[in-house]
Amino acid sequence: MAKSDVKAPAKEKEAKAAPVLGKAEITIAEKLVELYRLQTIDSQVDRIKVQRGELPLEVQDLEDEVAGLETRLNKLQEELAEIEGQVSEKQNQIKDAKAQIKKYEGQQAKVRNNREYDSLTKEIEFQNLEIQLAEKRIKEFKAQMEAKQAVVDESKAKHDERKKDLEQKKKELDDIIAETEKEEKELAKKSAAASQHIEERLLSAYHRIRSNARNGLGVVPVERGSCGGCFNAIPPQRQLDIGSHKKIIVCEHCGRILVDDYVVNRVNEEK
């Protein structure tokens, strides 16, 4: 057997045994550093959102209100147009009735007996009643139009006022976003980069803790023997466990991940 044939399996075995470093292979201390780094970045993003305050919600509420007012205004204008159509219809009925009266009056001049004359007279009376009824309905419709127009004018004024408020709030929000947009994009890149070094299970736990925390802090330092999130005292033995970096320790009271000065200093030095 050739020498190359003997050595080949050994090389293959050596290649298989070569370690491949990944998220799970970094030390607990490094995991904590990455987590705390991510927390500091996310806290900066939170600060920007606080700076915007309630403006995004106010803009959303105003957008919804303006959309609702536009829908109402369109419906009112449709109803107004419908009433105007009914007025026009009655005016045409009056016009037709007057034409009929004129025709019947012309026929009366040519009748040969009283019976025909009386029949035409009744037709003329009927058309006059139709005219009176149509005129009455027109008055009612015009009263409805006046009332509806008042509501339309009021709704339009309110719509224009709210739209003006919306434009103002949008401008304020756009100005703030313009000021912080560059910083926010940089922080988003840093957050994504930091997240890549943290295993999915741990990253999910961090986001879950952060979402449940009122101040958005999922990773906090131990300060003067207390949790930096809820400020409850941490027993001395537990502080030693945190400093040993053998496992990830969470606060018994608030569930936040705890880190010691070593981790904090590492992140602060990198800044």
pLDDT digits (tens, 9 = 90+) for 3-16: 334 343 333 333 33
Quick check: helix, strand or coil at residue 224?
Answer: coil
Is the C-alpha dihedral spanning 223, 229, 233, 239 positive or negative? negative
**Residues 44, 26: Cα–Cα separation, whole Å:** 26
Residue with tokens 């105003």: 62
**Cα–Cα distance measured from residue 241 to residue 238, given in angstroms and rounded to the nearest whole number:** 5
CA atoms of 207 and 219, how far apart (whole Å): 10
Of all residues in the chain, the percent with pLDDT exceeding 90 is 71
Sort strands 226-227 and 219-223 into parallel, antiparallel or unpaired.
antiparallel
pLDDT per residue over 61-80, tens digit each?
A: 999 999 999 999 999 999 99
Q: Is the pLDDT of residue 22 over 80?
A: no
Q: Any idea which of 11-20, 176-185, 198-207 has the lowest mean pLDDT? A: 11-20
d(CA 217, CA 60): 27
Strand ranges (DSSP E) for the chain? 219-223, 226-227, 257-259
DSSP for 227-264, written as a single string: ETTT--B--HHHHHHHHHTSS--B-TTT--EEE-HHHH
Would you list the domain boundaries of the chain? 52-181
pLDDT mean over 228-242:
95
The reported pLDDT for the residue numbered 209 is 94
Kindly give the interhelix angle for 28-52 and 200-212, rounded to the nearest 10 degrees. Answer: 40
Class of domain 52-181: mainly alpha
CA angle at 166 for the pair 165 and 167, rounded to the nearest 5°: 95
How far is 227 from 209, CA to CA, in rounded Å? 14
